Structure 1
Amino acid sequence: MRLLPLLAALAAGFALLPAAQAAAPMVKTQAPGFYRMMLGDFEITVLNDGTVNLPMHQLLTNTTPEKVNADLARSFLRSPLETSVNAFLVNTGSKLVMIDSGAGSLFGPTLGKLQAAIKAAGYQPEQIDEIYITHMHGDHVGGLTAGDKPAFPNAVVRADKRDAEFWLSSAVMDKAPEAAKGGFKGAMAMIGPYQAAGRFKPFDGDTELVPGVKALASYGHTPGHTVYAIESKGEKLMLWGDLMHVAAVQFAQPAVTIQFDSDSAAAAERRAKAYAEAAAQGYYVGAAHLSFPALGRLRAEGSGYTFVPVNYRAVP
């Protein structure tokens, strides 16, 4: 009979244990997006501003929606395509330089994560010395300000003067279609605080901006679209901006363009040359809309190219 109280006590204890089938709630968030590698003596940090769904079957040109959908399906993707928006930090040892600034608040709530990525990567916005803009579309300049104040209070912002003369001109905006005026207003709002502080300094075409970082004209996507060559100790990285947008389509078919190009023919020509050089020389490439972490190399394959993502490397 003494066994019964013991069994009752055990049963009461088991009743207090959590149910076996109770699952932990799903978190449903990503960590702040940064990826780091060394390039010679330079530290490269890729920063992810978030992603945005884009109807690429409608946006890509010099192709057809059916062809785009088939190309995406071969890579287990579909349209609307979740598209990364990336920026890049280059620490040369003497300068901390950022290439592009993400979209900020200009493209909705799925973007605007650049500040969190910078801090997670171990830096503060105040530490950034210079910001080089590939072009003045909103998803490249939108992170420059917080409200009406510079988000990077000590940085000098630089871009090709052709983009500045186009996107920052009220006269050009007045002649643009009504639907396009928002792009001009966004660029003006983002660059304006730096102009007012005397910290916007356009350059003219191919220019070495700091030792090891060179701007190279790549006009076509916009009037002043620029790519940036980063070189240290014989290693090279080309940061392409919007030279290309959709890896699953445009690496195999460099002639495919996009509606956002101001001069599609020139953009396609620049892309073809950049692909050929990257494949021949074997250097690293990165782009604003390659899937994060957006770094790799190109290998020629038939009439197109294959993108080989960078192998993960620990940084001591």
Structure 2
Amino acid sequence: MSHASRLLRRGLAAAGLALAALGLQAAPAPVKTQVPGYYRYANGDFEVTALYDGYIDLGTSLLKGLRAPEIQSLLARMFIEHSKGVQTAVNAYLVNTGEHLVLVDAGAASCFGPSLGQVQDNIRAAGYKPEEIDTVLLTHLHPDHLCGVLDKSGQPAFPNATLWASQGDADFWLSEKVAAAAADDAKPFFRMAMDAVKPYQAAGHFMSFKPGEALLPGVSVVPTPGHTPGHSSYLFSSGKQKLLLWGDIVHSHSVQFQHPEVSLEFDVDQKQAIATRKALFQQAANAGWAIGGAHLPFPGLGHIRKDAKGYAWVPVEFGPIRSDR
């Protein structure tokens, strides 16, 4: 041990003795774990629990319709670091209607790496059990919304639930013919979708719906195609309160609210996705609907405000659960 190291150790020991003599002690080691990833919200008499699945880093080159310097400027205004990709939340939502326990989207499980896959744990942390869920509504059949329907052993994570997806998405993502014709880099998305729903199909627990069909009391389907052929959002209505859980309408809140004409490379039909987003922004802002977004900063709940240029995202504030608003 060097002379300098010995002096440092003696100094630290002396400092510890001095603190002890004063009845003080050094600060404890930092706690580097985050709080459990759930947040409660009241939509009328419906209890809504936002569930954090984790995050994925999305490269800014995936955004289409604005030049790179404009996108970087919009991110900088929001103090968003993007050199390694923008940290983008993946959220799901558990809604207790009093009659049904409904999960909207299920997270990625192990399909997209270690930064995701927390939905099932956060359901338990929130005081529920996966086997208590009776309905799973999927906004679409992309892996970060679907793979979480299976547990670590590849069995249904929600064994007592019926799994619902739109007929449009089922016809696309579960078709061997469509998968065979897809680009090579897209083929794994088809296989992951097929593998995820297979156990539910075998148990007779996978169902598809067409636009306009009623699924549950207080829940209506809002067709929002473009990101995928049958992409769907769900409007939960209780009394005068309405909450739209909209899946992948927005991937970058810092860019797409002000510029809804910006699409994402993963949109199956970018032109349709843009048209859907513009119409939905206008409808939600005019109606004052609350919004829950799968890729908005957790808990992904808030409202849309019309601005002089485009729209703005107004997130909820932390507070007690109240249904009288």
What TM-score, normalized to structure 1?
A: 0.92
Q: Following TM superposition, where does structure 1 have runs of at least 4 consecutive aligned residues deviating by more than 3 angstroms?
A: 13-23
**Cα distance in 2 for residues equivalent to 1:206 and 1:269:** 20
Q: Give the deviation of 1:27 after TM superposition.
A: 2.3
Q: Which residues of 2 match residues 120-269 of structure 1 at below 5 A?
A: 120-146=125-151, 147-269=153-275
**Cα distance in 1 for residues equivalent to 2:313 and 2:27:** 40
Equivalent residue for 1:7? none
Q: Is 1:64 equivalent to 2:70 in the alignment? A: no
1:244 and 1:287 in contact (8 A); partners too: yes
Q: Is 1:314 equivalent to 2:320 in the alignment? A: yes
Residue of structure 2 aligned with 1:77, choices 73, 77, 80: 80
Instruction: Give the SS at the match of 1:241.
Output: coil
2:106 and 2:119 in contact (8 A); partners too: yes
Q: Give the deviation of 1:313 after TM superposition.
A: 2.6
Equivalent residue for 2:124? 119
Work out the number of aligned pairs and report it.
304
**Cα distance in 2 for residues equivalent to 1:137 and 1:123:** 25
**Cα distance in 2 for residues equivalent to 1:273 and 1:152:** 34
**Cα distance in 1 for residues equivalent to 2:57 and 2:47:** 30
Q: Quick one: percent identity of the two aligned structures?
A: 46
Letter in 2 for 1:45: T
Q: Is 1:44 equivalent to 2:48 in the alignment? A: yes
Q: Give the deviation of 1:22 after TM superposition.
A: 4.4
Alignment deviations for residues 196-243 of structure 1 (CA, whole Å, 9 cap, x no partner)? 100000001132210001112111100110011010011001111001
Change (3 A) 1:16 1:240: closer
Q: Give the deviation of 1:171 after TM superposition.
A: 1.1
Q: Is 1:272 equivalent to 2:272 in the alignment? A: no
Alignment deviations for residues 72-118 of structure 1 (CA, whole Å, 9 cap, x no partner)? 00000032111100000111101000000011100100100111110
Letter in 2 for 1:58: S
Q: Is 1:286 equivalent to 2:275 in the alignment? A: no
Instruction: Give the SS at the match of 1:201.
Output: strand
Deviates more, 1:235-244 or 1:60-69: 60-69
Deviates more, 1:256-265 or 1:61-70: 61-70
Letter in 2 for 1:49: D
**Cα distance in 1 for residues equivalent to 2:266 and 2:186:** 11
1:217 and 1:224 in contact (8 A); partners too: yes
Deviates more, 1:269-278 or 1:15-24: 15-24
Instruction: Give the SS at the match of 1:216.
Output: strand
Instruction: Give the SS at the match of 2:211.
Output: coil
1:256 and 1:268 in contact (8 A); partners too: yes
Instruction: Give the SS at the match of 1:159.
Output: strand
